[in-house]
Structure 1
Amino acid sequence: MFDTTDELLRKIQLGEDSVLELKAIHFKGDKISGPKPDDLADELAAMANTNDGVCVLGVDDKKREIAGIPLAKLDAVESFIREVCNDVIKPPLAVRIIRMELPGALGAMQPVIKVEVPRSLFVHKSPGGYFRRLGSSKRELTPEQLARLFQQRSQARFISFDEQTVPHTSLADLEESLWRRFVALVPDDPIATLRKLKLLSPDETSVERATVAGILLCSRHPETWLPNAYIEAVRYRGNQQDSNYQADAARIVGPLDQQIAHGLAFVRRNMRVAAIKAPGRVEIPQFNERAVFEAIVNAVAHRDYSIHGSKIRLFMFDDRFELYSPGPLPNTVTIESLPLRQATRNELITSLLARSPVEPDDRQVGRQYLMEKRGDGVPIIMNESYALSKRYPEYRLIDDAELLLTIYSASQPNTPIVS
Structure 2
Amino acid sequence: MLENISDLLKQIALGEDSILELKNISFKNDKISGPHRNGMADELAAMANTHAGVILLGIDDRTREIEGIPSEKLDLVEDWLRAICNDLIEPPLDCLIRKLSLPVQKEEEKIIIRVDVPRSLFVHQSPGGYFRRIGSSKRQMKPDMLARLFQQRSQARLIRFDEQVVPGAWLDELSPTLWNRFRTVISPHDDQEFLLKMKLIAPGDNDVLCPTVSGVLMACETPDAFMPGAFIQAVCYRGIERNGGYQLDAKDISGPLDIQIREACQFVERNMRVYAIKAPNRIDTPQFSLNAVFEAMVNAVAHRDYSVYGSKIRLHLFADRLEIFSPGTIPNTMTIDSLSERQSARNELLTSLLARCPMNFNAIGSQRSSIMDKRGEGVPIIIIESEQLSGVRPEYRLLDDAELKLTIYAAPPPAEHG
Name the TM tier (shorter chain). Answer: 0.5 to 0.7
Map 1:189-200 onto structure 2 (within 5 A). Answer: 189-200=190-201
Map 1:19-418 onto structure 2 (within 5 A). Answer: 143=129, 150=146, 155=151, 158-185=158-185, 187-359=188-360, 361-362=362-363, 364-413=365-414
Call closer, same or farther: CA 1:250–1:397 in 2, change over 3 Å: same
Structure 1 residue 361, shift from structure 2 partner: 4.2
Call closer, same or farther: CA 1:258–1:192 in 2, change over 3 Å: same
Opposite residue 172 of structure 2, the aligned amino acid is A
Call closer, same or farther: CA 1:392–1:268 in 2, change over 3 Å: same
Call closer, same or farther: CA 1:363–1:207 in 2, change over 3 Å: farther
**Normalised TM-score (structure 2):** 0.62
Given that residues 293 and 365 in structure 1 are in contact (C-alpha distance below 8 angstroms), is that contact kept between their aligned partners in structure 2? no
Greater alpha carbon shift after TM alignment, 261-270 vs 361-370: 361-370
Q: Which deviations, in whole Å up to 9, do the C-alpha atoms of 1:34-55 show, x marking residues without a partner? A: xxxxxxxxxxxxxxxxxxxxxx
Given that residues 322 and 405 in structure 1 are in contact (C-alpha distance below 8 angstroms), is that contact kept between their aligned partners in structure 2? yes
Structure 1 residue 148, shift from structure 2 partner: 12
Structure 1 residue 360, shift from structure 2 partner: 5.9
SS in 2 for 1:143: coil
Tell me the number of residue pairs that the alignment of Structure 1 and Structure 2 aligns. 275
Q: Which deviations, in whole Å up to 9, do the C-alpha atoms of 1:252-304 show, x marking residues without a partner? A: 00000000000000000001001111221110100011100000000000000
Structure 1 residue 376, shift from structure 2 partner: 0.8
Given that residues 339 and 378 in structure 1 are in contact (C-alpha distance below 8 angstroms), is that contact kept between their aligned partners in structure 2? yes
Structure 1 residue 187, shift from structure 2 partner: 4.5
Q: Distance in 2 between matches of 1:152 and 1:247?
A: 35
Q: Distance in 2 between matches of 1:246 and 1:333?
A: 35
The runs of 5 or more residues in structure 2 that have no matched partner are 1-126, 132-139
Q: Distance in 2 between matches of 1:202 and 1:152?
A: 22
Runs ≥4 residues deviating over 4 A: 144-154, 360-364
Q: Which deviations, in whole Å up to 9, do the C-alpha atoms of 1:20-46 show, x marking residues without a partner? A: xxxxxxxxxxxxxxxxxxxxxxxxxxx
Structure 1 residue 346, shift from structure 2 partner: 0.3
SS in 1 for 2:207: coil
Given that residues 291 and 363 in structure 2 are in contact (C-alpha distance below 8 angstroms), is that contact kept between their aligned partners in structure 1? no
Opposite residue 129 of structure 2, the aligned amino acid is P
Given that residues 230 and 312 in structure 2 are in contact (C-alpha distance below 8 angstroms), is that contact kept between their aligned partners in structure 1? yes
Q: Which deviations, in whole Å up to 9, do the C-alpha atoms of 1:47-84 show, x marking residues without a partner? A: xxxxxxxxxxxxxxxxxxxxxxxxxxxxxxxxxxxxxx
Given that residues 148 and 307 in structure 2 are in contact (C-alpha distance below 8 angstroms), is that contact kept between their aligned partners in structure 1? no
Q: Distance in 1 between matches of 2:205 and 2:309?
A: 22
Q: Rg larger in 1 or in 2?
A: 2
